[in-house]
Each structure stands twice: as structure tokens, then as C-alpha cells.
A and B are shown apart, each in its own frame.
Chain A
Amino acid sequence: MAKKEISLLQLVLSLTLITLVAAVALAAVYIVTKVPIEQVQSAKKTDAIAKVLPHFEGTTTRIAMMPEEGKDSVILYMAYNDSELFGAAVETYTDKAFSGRFSIMVGFDKEGVITGTEILQANETPGLGDKIDKNKSDFSLQFVGKNPQNYSLIVKKDGGDVDAITAATISSRAFCDAVSRAYQTYLKAKEENHE
């Protein structure tokens, strides 16, 4: 460390220089990784859509729509087979989870029957809340084949039809919340498209 007196200008200059170098380095890395990150993310989306809509092979149209409740918009991937509605993959989220927000993809057919669910991003407790993942427990599989019209998306403890995960009622409730947000938004989107 230099012992000599350092003026304010020198301090400002050296800090500016360091931040400038850091900014340039970050910009370079950002440019290098931008394309791979986008590819990874779009591959993840396509993959999730294919998983929640098992028998669909056409193309999807992306719509963003605000749900009735919730702070952010829900993304719908409306699936059409020759301009006839096949169903939709809905990217939904919940803020009622145990650790922060988690987002899932839910597939519906054109009647609104759930065809599949897929976790996109979640930080639930390993061994407890992470059982919402279908690789860890059968919890999410109970939704498949159900139509929320006559299947109450509420855990049994609260008077609904869903078997909650033992010791992870909060995560189970949150999962139901996300699925029902997806369903409501899907109904709304279908209505608007028919008009």
C-alpha cells in the first residue's frame, strides 16, 4: 500500500478504472454466454411443453396473460392442430411456496383435463417439499387426467380433493395454487379466443 498522500481525484479515478475494467469483462462474458443461455432456456421450455402435452406434435402460440390473482403474467403456449385447439401448456407460478416462488408447466387438453405437470424452477426443502417433483414422489401424478371443473384443486385437509404430501402441506397447497392459477387463466384465454 502506498504511504504517500492520495488525493480525492486519484481515489475516484482508480475506483472508476476498476469498475470500468470489471464492466468490460462482464460485457465480454455476457456476449459469449448470451446465445448458449438462450438456447438452454428455450430447449427447457420446448422440452417441458412436450412433456406436459404428450400426444401433441404441432406448433404452439405464446400468449402472456395476467391471472385473476397474482402479481405476474402467466405464459400460455396454445397448442393448435390445423387451427383447431388441441390444448395448452401453461407456465404458471405460486408465491405461496415454502421457500420463495416456484414455477411449473401444466398441460391441459381442450376440455381442460390436466395432461401433465412439470417443475420448471423450485427451491423446496429436499426430502419434504421437493416431493412435488414427480421423480421424487407420486404427488403430482394425481393431477393427471383430472378436470378441475369437477376436481377441487385444494388439499383434503382444507376440504378439497388433493392428497397432500406428508409433512409438506405448504408445498402441496402451493402446487394446487399454481395449477388452479394455470387452469383459470387457460379458461380465460379460451373464452377470449372464441370471441
Chain B
Amino acid sequence: MSKISILTKGIIKENPTLILVLGACPSLAVTTSSINGLGMGLATTFVLLMSNILISLLKNVIPDKIRIPCFIVVIATFVSIVDLLLHGFVPALADSLGLFIPLIVVNCIVLGRAEAFASKNSVFDSMLDGIGMGLGFTLALFLIGSVRELLGNGAVFGHKFIVGDGILVFVLAPGAFFVMGFLIAIFKMLKKS
């Protein structure tokens, strides 16, 4: 597998949310607006990148039998670091993402990539994989968030361009499923072509 395809496969071919359908919980819960989707995606990308690098560095040190608890410790540590740093230095972003940052720990994409990729590949490849997968996740969350915000609230990036309310169901939980369903269909089509 070439280096470039490791980086780009996460964006469409193996998009974590829309093709592999991993990490559906944050994808559905956080994406009420495009900004939230983008912020959550980038925070997850950072954690994914750092944990992939560290886990591929440690892959020969960690005994096979206890690899899952070790991975979780590494991931949870990075998530807590991100959480503390955001609260300390970027309070505005920390406010808008609220309790979704700690939830990155239970995002199965991060653990999934650690287990499926980083524990078997070189540090550099794992780094590319982390960035690629993270960007794919960010793209998916951003798309879901934008569509929901546009239809549900008549707004783009928080700026309303219609008077009154949009189709409110898109902001509520069922709308997340509708939008994700349609995006999965579109991505399946893109993958085939």
C-alpha cells in the first residue's frame, strides 16, 4: 500500500463514519451544527494522531494479552490532555464542545485504528493513517452538521439566512439518522465509482 493511499483511504474509501459506520454515537449526537461537527472532528483527529503514533511506538513493548487496557490508558490520557488544554487556553471552543471532548475516549474509531492499524504498522504509516482517518471523520461530521443546520435551522456556520425556523426535525435526534443514512448512500456510490 502506497503512503498516499494510507493517507487518503480514510477520506472516502474507508471513511470511518460513512463507510465503516464506526463512532456513530458522536456522529449522531454532536452534529447539530457545522461548527460542532468540525470542532469534534478536529479534536478526535488530534487524539487519533497522537494515540496512533504512541501505540505504534509501544507495539513491541505492550504484551499481546493486555493490549486493550494499555491502548485505552494511552487514549484516555491524550483525551484528558486535550480537555485540560482546551479549557485552559481555548475556553470558547471548550464551552461549545462541552462534554463531548471526554466522550472521545469511548469513540471506537480511536481504539479501532489502534487495534487494526497502529499495533501492526510503522510509526510513520500509523501517523498517516491517524491523519487520514481523522480527516475522514471530520469531513463526515462536518457534512452531517452542515446539512442538519441548513435544513433544520436555515443557517450556515451559525448565520441564519431565513426568518423563523427551519425543518426542526433535522436538528432533533431523528434528523441525525436521516442525514447520516443519505450520506452513507452517497458515499457508497462515490466508493463504487
Residues in chain A within 8 A of chain B (CB atoms): 1-2, 6, 10-11, 14-15, 18-19, 22, 25-26, 29-30, 32-34, 36-37, 40, 44, 100, 121, 123, 125-128, 166-167
A14 in contact with B88 (CB, 8 Å): no
Residues on B with C-beta less than 8 A from A100 are 99
Q: Determine the distance from Cα of A55 to Cα of B61 in the docked complex, in whole angstroms.
A: 63
Q: Determine the distance from Cα of A40 to Cα of B86 in the docked complex, in whole angstroms.
A: 11
B91 in contact with A19 (CB, 8 Å): no
B168 in contact with A14 (CB, 8 Å): no
26 A-B contact pairs sorted by A residue (CB < 8 Å)? A1-B63, A1-B64, A11-B65, A14-B63, A15-B70, A18-B58, A18-B62, A22-B73, A29-B84, A29-B85, A30-B84, A36-B88, A40-B91, A100-B99, A121-B95, A123-B98, A125-B32, A127-B32, A127-B149, A127-B152, A127-B166, A127-B168, A128-B168, A128-B171, A167-B165, A167-B168
B171 in contact with A2 (CB, 8 Å): no
- The one of A14, A44, A126 in contact with B61, judged by C-beta atoms closer than 8 angstroms, is A14
Residues on B with C-beta less than 8 A from A126 are 32-33, 36, 149, 153, 171
A127 in contact with B84 (CB, 8 Å): no
| Number of B residues, CB within 8 Å of A | 39
Q: Which residue of A lies closest to B90 (CB)?
A: A40
Residues on B with C-beta less than 8 A from A121 are 95, 98
Contact residues of B: prevailing secondary structure: helix
Q: Determine the distance from Cα of A123 to Cα of B99 in the docked complex, in whole angstroms.
A: 9
| Residues B63-115 near A (CB distance < 8 A) | 63-66, 69-70, 73-74, 76-77, 80-81, 84-85, 87-89, 91, 95, 98-99
For residue B172, CB closer than 8 A to chain A, the reply is yes
Closest CB in chain B relative to A39 CB, distance in Å: 9
For residue B9, CB closer than 8 A to chain A, the reply is no
B84 in contact with A15 (CB, 8 Å): no
- The one of B76, B84, B171 in contact with A33, judged by C-beta atoms closer than 8 angstroms, is B84
B70 in contact with A37 (CB, 8 Å): no
- The one of A25, A32, A125 in contact with B171, judged by C-beta atoms closer than 8 angstroms, is A125
Among B84, B85, B98, B152, find the residue whose CB has the most chain A CB atoms closer than 10 A: B84
Q: Determine the distance from Cα of A19 to Cα of B70 in the docked complex, in whole angstroms.
A: 8
B62 in contact with A33 (CB, 8 Å): no
B65 in contact with A40 (CB, 8 Å): no
Q: Which residue of B lies closest to A12 (CB)?
A: B66
